[in-house]
Amino acid sequence: MKAYLSRRYHFSASHRLHTDAYDEARNRELFGKCNNPHGHGHNYTVQVTLSGPVDPITGMVCNLGDLDAFARTHLLDRFDHTNLNMLPCFANRVSTTENLSKEIYRIFSEFALAHLENVHVEETSNNSFDYAGSRMPWNGTL
């Protein structure tokens, strides 16, 4: 029997949306106030959804202590109270929350004790992003 487990984590980080592919004027036009040269911050909420068989002895998909330890080491210690633009994973890509979602998915896909289904990242009360790896069905048209 397959069951799903979702767990939430919180961290604060700053970033500046900017790409060297465009000049300053185009960056300001494209990213607006999020292109502030001094950056801006968010209190992010990350929800990871994992799946797996329910262990017949423990009754769990995975031990939450193991998941929390993984999240602490690989997510929170890495991103909390940082400038995302300074991290190697954003050296060659814009630190949008879409790209942050992809990076968090990559991180949790290495958690070996359950199967990662998707990540959900809330940037603000109005903006949230979901990423489920290559399983995301979208053909590029609206």
123 is catalytic: yes
Q: Which of 34, 74, 98, 115 is catalytic?
A: 34
Distance separating alpha carbons of residues 68 and 74, to the nearest angstrom: 10
Active-site residue, from 103, 117, 122, 123:
123
Query: Cβ neighbours of residue 97 under 8 Å, at least 6 residues apart?
Result: 42, 44, 121, 123, 127, 129
| The two structure tokens encoding residue 124 | 């603000």
Residue entry with tokens 């998941």: 67
Instruction: State yes or no: is 115 an active-site residue.
Output: no
Active site residue 117: no
Choice among 62, 74, 81, 103 that is catalytic: 81
Give catalytic residues, as residue numbers.
Answer: 34, 81, 123
